[in-house]
Structure 1
Amino acid sequence: MKFPIKVICVGSSLFLSSSLYMGARTWTDVKGRQIDGEILTKTTKLVKLSMKGKAVEIPLTKLSKADRDFVASWKPSASESNKKQQTKKLGKPSSAEVEACFNIPWPKLVSADVGMEIEEKSGEDNTFIYTSENYEFVSNTKLSKVVVKRFAVLFEATRLYVQQIPYASMKSYRKGANYKVMLFDTMSSYHRAGGPMGSAGVYMASKDMIMVPCDSLGLVKRGSSWALDYDKTNKTLPHEITHQVTDREYYVPGARGWFSEGMAEYIAATPYRSGKFSANKAESAIEQYVTSFAKKDGRGRNLGKEINAPDLRQFMMMSYGQFTANGNFNYGLGALLVTYFNHYDGEGDGENIKNFLRALKAGKTGEDALEALRAGRTFEELEADITKGWRKRGVKINFG
């Protein structure tokens, strides 16, 4: 067995009910070697895993007994027929609809409905299901509707923020789609279900689902009930929510890494309070978050005002495994690049990055897609433009 790159999309720190619903875990073969992957399907002899974006079939006889037992107890979260029905119901947007979304104005203030209603019902295996307008939260612990409403507002606001950025991320426009989120009362239950060690939450792309422990929602246990810690801020959640509502075309080589993580960092670092993202303050907030530590919560990448960066082409084309291997630096630099292309490049209208995304939607990848971003410039000329753009704002980027 090989040692593939993890297929879990990670955020600023890494990010559901029981393992019967989730198949993400570290797998061990009979020789003790390990791989990371997530179950797609199983038979009496084989298990199909999603690893590094690819489906791989592994004979059960090659897995450890613990893994074979896990496979035996695992059940899919939804049938393939249900997934197909949902896709058919949602439909595919027309090219005119996509283009219209590229041409919306940049948002200044994004507000979610703080008066939303939360529905509650009992789920299987002693779980509790809470539903907001667009999200379904499955929890292994009972929560009050008031508490759920507080964090559901953040989920709904983040979806709206992604929708209102002129990136034409059409997935964020789905209405009543019930994006799936699974909640855990303890970190140990989160880890037992496949949550990565040392993580605060994770978006599982193959299941289109977020896993998150209650602590990462800002919840604290007081007696037998849960309450919200109002002093606790959260940048992990908006990051992972952004991944969940971003179009899959934006995760291909040439974009996955610097753009996909940089965009999620851009959203997460934008000032947020009580259902509102202050998008007009995003640029200065991101600069502070990347170069130092945020004043409010002390969190940040702390890369400093002078940053020695790798060759730009190399950075944009590196594999996702390479990108996450130096996560703090690369996520921060990705956020600075996304901010530059959003607001400082060309006429400051984000047209070049939108052309890049148009190219991705047209099926281009790698340097073919990046050609639209360069807009006739060599990578060296683009490096110079980025350096000049950020130097005006007190940040020096030295590409090597």
Structure 2
Amino acid sequence: MYTFSMKGGRELKGSLRYVVDKEVYIVGENGVTYKVAFNKLEPPSLVYVNGWIRKKGGTSNYASWIDTSGAGFSSSWPRTVYAPSRIDIKTKYEEFKKGHYVYESAHYRFVSDSKLEPKVVQRFAVLFETTYKFVMELPLNASGRYLEKDEKFKIYLFGSYKNYVRAGGPAGSAGVFLIRSQTVMVPLQVLGLENRSGKWVFVRDKSNKVLSHELQHQLTSGTSFPAWYIEGSAEYVASTRYTHGAYHVVNGKTRVFSYVRSKDGLPDGSGRRLGGRVEMMSLEEFMDLSYRRFAGIQANQNYAVSLLLTYFFYHEDGNGDAAGMKAYVKALQQGKQEKEARKYLLRGRTPDQLQEQFRRFCSAKGVAIDFD
């Protein structure tokens, strides 16, 4: 944290989060966000802000805590990502209100309404920490890598499904990411836990699909991505084969198409089950959908197509090195408008030409898309 000095003698201690049109957005110690114009800052604080902007690769018109000047886009695409060699769990019961229990791993803080044995927490923390490692190793500069040193991602756990819904979890869901509070909420049963005689025990491995999907949202939040990429990138992580403590990216194309197409779904129960033919709007209109429309009518199909489109840009387009997608993500993280950033995905093609290439890619793997 930094203490910002303003004209008139006022001081504000906090973390710099954004610069937008020569206005500084500061998150104070109390968690409240304050907006301060450049011309209100004393010279030393203005020097600090300008240095921060240069370091993050932005301008005085736009910069965020997401650093686009570093190596976040330069690594090669991972093939297999293994869990950290050691996962330590700390209990911090004294830090929360009565009846709630706090546990911490390297990158997560778990707040549970039920008391859990540390060894039980350690068992499911493997999924959380491995997902964190997987998303960080994707060369797409995930915002989660820039979390403040003393911060952790917040996970709320519920022993009662009724309490989960009461706290804001959608009825019928197995987990949710809440944008406003930047938290993931999960019923304990989804983690493979069962309450036996008042004690929570680990009984079985569950499909990681829902959790890894929501964790990816949490780890990449903070950039104004369009609906198709918000959900397509989360579905990419969710559909990647996971065994206890490892994500296997190799042979991903076959799994992705089975995940989308198979009427019976994958062996772990996940999948979109669309079959071999899809009728939809033009690709350009699909990429322009608001989140509300995307998640409304034909949501299941929209999620499936967004996964195929994301996979196409990650692994098939151009030289198969995700160069267009990296440039697209970087442009959005630097505050460019989506229409301007999309030129990096088009790479000189018209929207119709891109649509035809994507159609052929899907058709070759057994999904025939009829665009309107």
Task: Return 214-223 or 312-321, whichever deviates more.
Answer: 214-223
Other structure's SS at 1:124 match: coil
* Cα distance in structure 2, aligned partners of 1:221 and 1:396: 46
Residue 199 of structure 1: CA displacement? 1.6
Find the counterpart in structure 2 of residue 181 from structure 1: 155
User: Residue 394 of structure 1 aligns to which amino acid in structure 2?
Assistant: G
String of CA shifts for 1:246-274, please: whole Å, max 9, x gaps.
Answer: 0411xx2xx33110100000001101112
Q: Please, what TM-score do these two structures have when normalized by structure 1?
A: 0.74
String of CA shifts for 1:277-322, please: whole Å, max 9, x gaps.
Answer: 0122332222111112443223210111222232111111111110
Q: Please, what TM-score do these two structures have when normalized by structure 2?
A: 0.79
Does 2:198 correspond to 1:224? yes
Which of 310, 319, 322 aligns to 1:347? It is: 319
Does 2:179 correspond to 1:205? yes
Contact map agreement 1:114 1:275 (CA 8 A) in 2: no
Other structure's SS at 1:328 match: helix
Evaluate the alpha carbon distance shift between residue 176 and residue 237 of structure 1 in structure 2; reply closer, same or farther with a 3 A threshold: farther
Find the counterpart in structure 1 of residue 165 from structure 2: 191
Contact map agreement 2:190 2:206 (CA 8 A) in 1: no
Evaluate the alpha carbon distance shift between residue 152 and residue 98 of structure 1 in structure 2; reply closer, same or farther with a 3 A threshold: farther
% identity of equivalent residues: 36
In angstroms, what is the RMSD of aligned CA positions? 2.2
Find the counterpart in structure 1 of residue 252 from structure 2: 282
Does 2:222 correspond to 1:257? no
Find the counterpart in structure 2 of residue 101 from structure 1: 72
1:365-376 aligned within 5 A: 365-376=337-348
Contact map agreement 1:163 1:173 (CA 8 A) in 2: no
Task: Return 345-354 or 93-102, whichever deviates more.
Answer: 93-102
Contact map agreement 2:207 2:270 (CA 8 A) in 1: no
Evaluate the alpha carbon distance shift between residue 114 and residue 149 of structure 1 in structure 2; reply closer, same or farther with a 3 A threshold: farther
Contact map agreement 1:162 1:172 (CA 8 A) in 2: no
Residue 157 of structure 1: CA displacement? 0.9
Contact map agreement 1:109 1:280 (CA 8 A) in 2: yes
Higher-RCO chain (CA-CA 8 Å, sequence separation at least 6): 1
* Cα distance in structure 2, aligned partners of 1:99 and 1:376: 27
Other structure's SS at 1:101 match: coil
Other structure's SS at 1:277 match: strand
Other structure's SS at 1:136 match: strand
Other structure's SS at 1:206 match: coil
Which of 120, 126, 143 aligns to 2:91? It is: 120
Find the counterpart in structure 2 of residue 299 from structure 1: 270
User: Residue 218 of structure 1 aligns to which amino acid in structure 2?
Assistant: G
Find the counterpart in structure 2 of residue 154 from structure 1: 127
Contact map agreement 1:220 1:228 (CA 8 A) in 2: yes
Q: Which blocks of at least 5 consecutive residues in structure 1 are unaligned?
A: 1-78
Find the counterpart in structure 1 of residue 112 from structure 2: 139
User: Residue 106 of structure 1 aligns to which amino acid in structure 2?
Assistant: W
Residue 230 of structure 1: CA displacement? 2.1
* Cα distance in structure 2, aligned partners of 1:134 and 1:342: 26
Residue 114 of structure 1: CA displacement? 5.3
Give the aligned length. Answer: 314
Residue 168 of structure 1: CA displacement? 1.1
Residue 353 of structure 1: CA displacement? 1.1
